[in-house]
């Protein structure tokens, strides 16, 4: 929880984490202090065994600067602050944990909801196309594990559910700049094979790609 009128000071239990300082109307964040907070918050969410890894520092630097919407640094890093984030990498590298944590860095902004992609398909199988409509609305979402969900099937008709939702989210982005985030184990070629060129081209407009190295360690082991 943020300290009242000071969103750069976040309270966790009895501790206050000062992520930066206020100069005039601008918050100047300190990256190392942000990491201290993120590790502490990660331990409260995922258990005391959680930790951040030095090898992921570059990924964290990009995610943190994007989260605080530092436009100057985002430009240097090749990130568009208006687009969402597509965080890709091998199984177990920490994508879901990091995207979950980033929601807490800026408590003064509306957080996105973390939604497993497979759960959306299960909802479609039961409710049908209403599910696609529900995720094509004006809420903020991060679709977790994009690309490993099964094909949707409702009353005998197959549907690439997430592909249809991404098209709807792209339409919203063009109209309102509403952001969509996602995590995935797949690379660009695999995503195109799964969703087709039409969806893949829209994903380029929807997302900034931030990718872990292919040989990133599995932190679950």
pLDDT in tens, the chain (221 residues): 555 568 889 988 889 999 998 888 788 999 999 999 999 999 999 999 999 999 999 999 999 999 999 999 999 999 999 999 999 999 989 999 999 999 999 988 889 999 999 999 999 999 999 999 999 888 999 999 999 999 999 988 999 999 999 999 999 999 999 999 999 999 988 999 999 999 999 999 999 999 998 888 877 77
What pLDDT is stored for residue 179 in this prediction? 96
Alpha carbon distance 9, 144 (integer Å): 28
In a domain, 19, yes or no: no
Alpha carbon distance 140, 3 (integer Å): 24
In a domain, 37, yes or no: no
What pLDDT is stored for residue 4 in this prediction? 54
Place of tokens 């919203």: 172
CATH of residue 180's domain is: 3.40.50.300
In a domain, 38, yes or no: no
In a domain, 86, yes or no: yes
What pLDDT is stored for residue 127 in this prediction? 93
What pLDDT is stored for residue 5 in this prediction? 67
- 184 strand-pairing partners: 88, 146
In a domain, 112, yes or no: yes
Radius of gyration of the chain (CA): 18
Where in the sequence is the domain holding 207, given as residue range(s)?
Answer: 81-211
In degrees and rounded to multiples of 5, residue 112 shows phi and psi of -90, 160
Number of domains in the chain: 1
Alpha carbon distance 62, 210 (integer Å): 8
Alpha carbon distance 86, 191 (integer Å): 12
Structure tokens at 199: 């969806």
Residues in the chain: 221
In a domain, 2, yes or no: no
Q: Kindly report the pTM of this predicted structure.
A: 0.93
In a domain, 203, yes or no: yes
In a domain, 75, yes or no: no
């Amino acid at each position: 929880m943020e300290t009242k009128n000071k969103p750069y000071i976040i309270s966790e239990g009895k501790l206050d984490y000062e992520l930066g300082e206020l100069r005039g109307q601008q918050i100047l964040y300190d990256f190392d202090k942000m990491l201290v907070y993120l590790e502490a918050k990660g331990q409260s969410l995922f258990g005391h065994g959680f930790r951040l890894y030095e090898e992921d520092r570059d990924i964290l630097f990009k995610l943190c600067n994007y989260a605080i919407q530092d436009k100057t640094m985002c430009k240097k890093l090749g990130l568009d602050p208006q687009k969402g984030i597509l965080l890709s990498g091998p199984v177990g590298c920490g994508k879901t944990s990091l995207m979950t944590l980033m929601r807490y860095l800026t408590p003064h902004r509306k957080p996105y909801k973390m939604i497993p992609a497979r759960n959306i398909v299960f909802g479609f199988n039961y409710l049908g196309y209403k599910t696609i409509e529900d995720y094509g609305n004006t809420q903020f979402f991060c679709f977790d594990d994009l690309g490993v969900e099964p094909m949707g099937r409702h009353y005998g008709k197959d549907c690439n559910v997430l592909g249809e939702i991404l098209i709807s989210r792209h339409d919203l982005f063009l109209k309102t700049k509403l952001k969509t985030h996602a995590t995935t184990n797949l690379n660009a070629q695999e995503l195109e094979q799964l969703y087709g060129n039409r969806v893949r081209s829209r994903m380029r407009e929807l997302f900034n790609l931030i990718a872990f190295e292919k040989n990133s360690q599995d932190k679950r082991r």
